[in-house]
Amino acid sequence: MNTYMMKNNPLSFLSFSFLAAVMAIGCKEEKVAPVLIPDVNVVAAGQQTVPVYSEFVGQTLGISDVNIRSKVDGYIMSMHFKEGQVVQKGQLLYVIDDRNIQAKIDAAEARLAEAKTYLVKAKSDLDRVEPLTRMNALSKRDLDAAVATYNASQNQVQAAEAALRNTKIDLAYTRITAPITGIIGISRLLVGDFVSQGNLGEALNTISAVGAMRVRFPVTESEFLRFRRKATSDSSDKVDWAKLPIELLLSDNSAYYETGRMDLANRQIDPETGSLLLQAVFENKDGLLRPGQYVKVRFKTDEFKDAIMIPQQAVNQVQSVFQVFVIGDSSKLSPRIVTTGARVGSNWIITTGLKPGEKVAVIGSAAINPKKPVNPVMMNWNYDSTSRN
C-alpha cells in the first residue's frame, strides 16, 4: 500500500496496523514447549531364601468330646451342674427317676430269696436221700433226681443274683456322673423331660476336655501327594511333618500364641470331596480355644532358595504372558518377558528373565512410552518372607 493511499484512507491504515500487531503476538506464542520427563518408581530386584506357607481352614474340637446319654428310662428329677462351666470327673450331673428301677430291685430280691429257699430244701432232700441210697432203701434213680434238683436250685440262685445285680446297675445309671473333667455344654433336656436309653440318638449333653485342642482340616488329594513326596524325599529340604510347627490363625486373623504339631491323617480320601482330613493338636492352657471354632491352620510347605523377588505392581500380565519394564543406562524402559513363581505376600518370585539388582519400573496400570526416557525414582519396599498359597 503506497503512502498516498494511507494518507487519504485512514481506515486502511488502521487495518494494516491491527494486522501487524496480531502477527507480532502470534510469533511470540510459537515458542517451543519444554519436554517433560515423567517420574517412575523403580525398585531393585531382591534376592533371598523364601519359606512358603500354606493355609487351610479347619475347625476346633476338644481333645476329648464325650456325649452324655442316659442308659435307663425315666424322667429327669434334678440337674447338679452349671451349664457352660467346668465339671470334674465323677461329679454328679443328672438324677433320673429311679422308682421303677427300685421296684424291679425289690422283685429281684424276692426272687432271689425264693430261689435260696428252694436251694435249702433241695439240699435237705439230697442229704436225706444219699444215706438211704447207700443202704439200698432208695434206688439210684431217687438219688439222681435229688442231685438234679439240688443243682437246678443252685443255678436258680445264681440267675436270681445276676438279675439283682443288673437291676442295681440300672439303679446306678439313674445317677449320671461326668466321665471326664472338662467344660459341659447347654443341656438339651431339662428337669421334667423324659429320657430313654435310645432317645432317638440325642445326647443329654457333651463334655469337652479343653486342656489341649484338636484342629481338623481338609487338604486336597494333590496337596497330600505333594506333602507325602516331600516327607519321603532324599533331598536336603526333606520335611519331617511330625516335628513341623503348626501356626493357628483365629477368626479375627490374629495369631494364636501356641504352636501346634501334626497329629494324624485320616485313613482314606473322602470320595465325595477328594480331600484328606488331617488333625493338629494345640495346647490351650488359658481356655481361649473352644470346640466348634473355625480357624486357619498355617505351616511351611516349601522353600525357595536365593529367590528373586519384585513387587506385584511391577509385573504386567497379558493373558499367560508376564512382562516387566527394566530401566537401562539411558533411563529408558525396556520390556522383558519373565517367568513368575509363587506369590510371596505382595511380591512375585521371578524364576527366569531377571537378575538380582536389576532395576524394574513399578508402573501399575499407568501408560508409559518405552521409547522415551523417564526419571527413575527409587522406591523403598520390604521383602515379605511369608508366602501363602
pLDDT tens, residue by residue, 65-86:
999 999 999 999 999 999 999 9
Q: Of 104, 124, 108, give the one whose Cα is nearest residue 157.
A: 108
For residues 27-36, average pLDDT = 57
Q: In this model, does residue 15 exceed pLDDT 70?
A: no
Q: In this model, does residue 381 exceed pLDDT 70?
A: yes
Higher-pLDDT residue of 368, 133: 133
pLDDT tens digits for range 175-219: 999 999 999 999 999 999 999 886 555 799 999 999 999 999 999
Helix or strand holding residue 221 (H, E): helix 221-232
Integer Cα distance of 222 and 214 in angstroms:
24
Q: In this model, does residue 355 exceed pLDDT 60?
A: yes
Q: What is the model's pLDDT at position 139? A: 87
Q: In this model, does residue 34 exceed pLDDT 90?
A: no
C-alpha pair distances (Å), 332 with each of 38, 40, 46, 370? 11, 11, 21, 6
Contact 187, 69 (CB under 8 A): no
Integer Cα distance of 133 and 130 in angstroms:
5
Integer Cα distance of 199 and 210 in angstroms:
27
- Poorest-pLDDT segment among 123-132, 147-156, 361-370: 361-370
Q: CB neighbours (10 Å) of residue 130?
A: 15
For residues 309-326, average pLDDT = 88
Q: Of 143, 271, 254, give the one whose Cα is nearest residue 218.
A: 271
Higher-pLDDT residue of 370, 323: 323
Work out the mean pLDDT of the chain and round it to a whole number.
Answer: 85
Q: In this model, does residue 18 exceed pLDDT 60?
A: no
Contact 60, 263 (CB under 8 A): no
Q: In this model, does residue 14 exceed pLDDT 90?
A: no
C-alpha pair distances (Å), 262 with each of 210, 233, 288? 17, 19, 20
Q: What is the model's pLDDT at position 138? A: 83
For residues 315-330, average pLDDT = 86
Integer Cα distance of 320 and 183 in angstroms:
54
Q: What is the model's pLDDT at position 4? A: 43
Integer Cα distance of 300 and 226 in angstroms:
13
pLDDT-based confidence at 93, cuts 50/70/90? very high
For residues 233-252, average pLDDT = 81
Strand 333-344 with 375-378, pairing: unpaired
- Poorest-pLDDT segment among 66-75, 116-125, 128-137: 128-137
Q: In this model, does residue 254 exceed pLDDT 60?
A: yes
Q: What is the model's pLDDT at position 302? A: 80
Q: Please report the DSSP string for 305-343 in residue order.
A: EEEEEEEGGG-EEETTEEEEEEE-TTSBEEEEEEEEEEE
For residues 305-317, average pLDDT = 88
Share of the chain above pLDDT 70, in %: 85
